[in-house]
Structure 1
């Protein structure tokens, strides 16, 4: 059904002007598993894998607070099982590490358990993930696959389509890992610009949902700084303190050269009216939105 009466959550969110800054889920470890067959609605949980191996991988990921995503290259699916897997870490120091392997049989995926406890290799190019999980939410396919095609044409070695990353109504969603940066509300043209800028270490506020190493008020504060002072590198601004104030937070942000400045950013939260927020979820619910009320230099 694609008629005019069908509800698309991303269309509704754009019509309302839903704010997406501060909506990146917290996390610093990702497990990627190439799976070329159809993806179940619940991703890895729904795969028909060897139960023992699946339990081991799931338990190790949970112990490391890692998110498991199924991935595939854009284009025609191949029916065979197997492919590549990866474990990606964004360490507290800011170091970015990756470990890659291959699997042919289900039990080969047990290598992921060991990889989660190993440091991984630094200096590798980031991975660009485009959510195209149509069975989870129609907008992820309708908006995500054209973005996956456009980015794959430019960076075929870096780009993968992936299962649900959160925030269906902000489709198309793109996540760069292990950098830990979420972008949303993209189309093919804007996605190419955003990712080329990202790869050049120029992050802009326009489509930024947030950094996964920060909490929502902190994400919004950094986005507010980027909007005020212009694009900057992933680690050019650091959150040095967060304090609760009367009706929100005061987030202290420190910049390094060439963005050397000390800033206090005031952030407030508000709750939206109840709305239908996803294609598959018929019930209305409200969302928390964070607003920057001031950015002051010290």
Structure 2
């Protein structure tokens, strides 16, 4: 059986799920195709959850999560809910009675919901089969193996996180980096690196706080540094795009916390044969690629 994620014609950089604030709510019951379409929760509750996310501002996202395997189907009386502020690299855990408690959350910043600060990272693996079969076929086995290896609530199954054509796909918290085309060995390396905050490049689709072109620029510099043997951690690079609505060949500035700045030239590239979802016809897509990285300058 050929599925959309078997067609690997697109580059991964620049395809990350966008978002800077995340509500990760433990919900082992059924996930409809879109978790906010009114079929997972009631129409009334869905409307109130949407209003809460909208009020919190652009870039606020809900992900449903569950533990891999049978144990993930038994929650008990309280549901774990992780609140993530990726800009601050902060994650908190609150316990909720059910989804009806989500609209009461204050998502304006950390420390406002009586939550426990969580210092270990979380890896969310998309297993949302109702959205696309790829995530069931490739995501569930990966989540199960990583959970067996690490345990301790490090790895969770998750609802759709964009890019099932890159399955198995995952989202690393609290930094909001997306990864794609992961196998079990790469997944283990990714989690081990995350435990010490080390930047992991293989399969990296980009930083969800950034626009696609900015994601590409950051990853281009990160690859150069890692290939040169430098020790790089999440948060060490910042990105400024002076002309985010610009056309081709615009430079994007990537700055290291030590003061070095690279200017990355971007250009658009057409990729043919892209199958967005299983059952779709192939199409041509336009992606950003890094065409030149100028030598770093010191501030």
**2:23, 2:61 within 8 Å by CA — same for their partners in 1?**
yes
Q: How far apart in 1 are the matches of 2:146 and 2:188?
A: 6
Match of 2:13 in 1: 21
Structure 1 stretches of 5 or more lacking a match? 1-5
Q: Deviations for 1:59-92, whole angstroms, at most 9, x for unmatched residues? A: 111232321111100001537786222322123x
1:30 and 2:34 correspond: no
Q: How far apart in 2 are the matches of 1:72 and 1:88?
A: 16
Matched residue count:
282
**2:67, 2:73 within 8 Å by CA — same for their partners in 1?**
no
Task: Compute the RMSD of aligned alpha carbons.
Answer: 2.4
Match of 1:3 in 2: none
Q: How far apart in 2 are the matches of 1:212 and 1:205?
A: 15
Judged with a 3 Å threshold, the aligned counterparts in structure 2 of structure 1 residues 194 and 48 are, in CA distance, closer, same or farther, namely closer
State the TM-score, normalizing by the size of structure 2. Answer: 0.85
**1:204, 1:226 within 8 Å by CA — same for their partners in 2?**
no
1:101 and 2:99 correspond: no
Match of 1:269 in 2: 268
1:294 and 2:296 correspond: no
Judged with a 3 Å threshold, the aligned counterparts in structure 2 of structure 1 residues 95 and 154 are, in CA distance, closer, same or farther, namely same
Match of 1:237 in 2: 237
Match of 2:155 in 1: 159
How do residues 1-298 of structure 1 correspond to structure 2 at under 5 angstroms?
A: 6-13=1-8, 16=9, 18-64=10-56, 65=58, 66-76=60-70, 78=73, 83-91=79-87, 94-104=88-98, 106-107=99-100, 109-110=101-102, 112-120=103-111, 122=117, 124-156=119-151, 157-230=153-226, 232-243=232-243, 247-257=248-258, 260-273=259-272, 275-280=274-279, 282-297=280-295, 298=297
Q: CA deviation at 1:48?
A: 4.6
Q: Deviations for 1:9-55, whole angstroms, at most 9, x for unmatched residues? A: 11112xx3x20101113210111221112321222434453443332
Q: Secondary structure at the match of 2:265?
A: strand
**2:7, 2:274 within 8 Å by CA — same for their partners in 1?**
no
Judged with a 3 Å threshold, the aligned counterparts in structure 2 of structure 1 residues 33 and 216 are, in CA distance, closer, same or farther, namely same
Q: How far apart in 2 are the matches of 1:190 and 1:261?
A: 30
**2:263, 2:294 within 8 Å by CA — same for their partners in 1?**
yes
Q: Secondary structure at the match of 2:274?
A: coil
Q: Deviations for 1:159-178, whole angstroms, at most 9, x for unmatched residues? A: 11001000111111110122
Q: How far apart in 2 are the matches of 1:101 and 1:83?
A: 5
Q: How far apart in 2 are the matches of 1:295 and 1:34?
A: 42
Q: How far apart in 1 are the matches of 2:145 and 2:106?
A: 32
State the TM-score, normalizing by the size of structure 1. Answer: 0.85
Structure 2 stretches of 5 or more lacking a match? none
